[in-house]
Structure 1
Amino acid sequence: MTANFTTTITVDTTPRKAFDAINDVTGWWGRITGSTAAVGDEFVYLVPGLHYSGFRVTEIVAERHIAWLVTGSYLDPTIDKQEWTGTTVRFGIDEIDGTTQITFTHEGLKPEHECYELCSNAWSMFVNGSLKAFIETGEGKPYSFDGDEALTAADHAELHDQAAEATALASNAS
């Protein structure tokens, strides 16, 4: 069995602060619509014309663990546009010798997948760079867009519905 993508960071903070920062997705990854606060919450991350991901929070253990199921996806650079659909993003949080270690795993993002190189590089940039900085300094480097690319919540909802429809059609075809 091939490994999933995993990366680990250590930050000089409490597990609580790390947990809160991870759940503040807009502070380190990019603007979302929806909520990450409780199991069952759903949110959407979107980079116009490039990447859409819908997530459902499936696990939350304060200061210890977070998991998000990808409920729908669209990855423009790949042949299988829905390669992330059905995968799970996990954050494990452990206190070790007065520091906090965060182990990020994208279960289902495997080296044999077309998106692996591009997506693992992006996750490394966001987790090892932006999330770490956000936790330590309060200033992350999330993806942002303005002008014509800026989307409203209604735009996100429409894209979510389109991805859900595409996922349903793909499921019915198999």
Structure 2
Amino acid sequence: MVNAKNFEYSFHSKRSANEIFPILQDVRSWWNGFFGEKITGDTNKIGDEFSFSAGDGVHFSKQKLIEIQPDRELAWLVTESNLSFINDTHEWENTKIKFNLEKTDNGTNVTFIHEGLIPNIECYKNCSGAWTQYLENLEKSLNS
């Protein structure tokens, strides 16, 4: 059977969901720092769209904010992608990038899920590795 588990990364922060949520909503604050990223567009309200490019054009994607539940959940739909390092350059299209926040007694559990980024697609190894770098960086910044 083919493993169809979405890429997921979870961690705990002592910060409140109320503190964390606006940081996650501002993708420029966490989706950067490794590959010369450029982010243009808005990420504040439902329907807002932003473009992400990195690696001198090796990765381009466009995301549309489709879900906001303050202090609980954010989700973007990838509406366009051009991943020049793989055969199917549109592999991210119609996938979802989301954060779930769960309040705990001593902070917040943060879970990132890229729905559709599964082990049997070509981009999985490189993309999950890059996501891990960004999310480890985010985790460090939320726990410092």
**Is TM (by shorter chain) over 0.5?**
yes
Please give the per-residue CA displacement for 1:32-52, whole angstroms capped at 9, x wherever unaligned.
Answer: 111111110000111122100
Q: Structure 1 unaligned runs (5+)?
A: 138-174
Partner of 1:76: 84
**Residue 61 (structure 2) pairs with residue 53 (structure 1):** yes
Partner of 2:35: none
Query: Which sits farther off after the overlay, 111-120 or 18-27?
Result: 18-27
Secondary structure (helix, strand or coil) at the match of 1:40 reads coil
- Structure 1 runs (4+) deviating above 2 angstroms are 133-137
Secondary structure (helix, strand or coil) at the match of 1:93 reads strand
Bigger Rg over Cα:
1
**Identical aligned pairs, as a percentage?**
37
TM-score normalized by structure 1? 0.75
* Partner amino acid, structure 1, of 2:124: Y
Partner of 1:91: 99
**Residue 134 (structure 2) pairs with residue 134 (structure 1):** no
Partner of 1:29: 31
Is the contact made by 1:17 and 1:135 (CA closer than 8 Å) also made in structure 2?
A: no
CA RMSD of aligned residues (A): 1.2
Q: Structure 2 unaligned runs (5+)?
A: 33-37
Is the contact made by 1:35 and 1:41 (CA closer than 8 Å) also made in structure 2?
A: yes
Q: CA deviation at 1:16?
A: 1.1
TM-score normalized by structure 2? 0.89
Which structure dedicates a bigger proportion of its chain to strand?
2
Which structure dedicates a bigger proportion of its chain to helix?
1
* Partner amino acid, structure 1, of 2:46: V
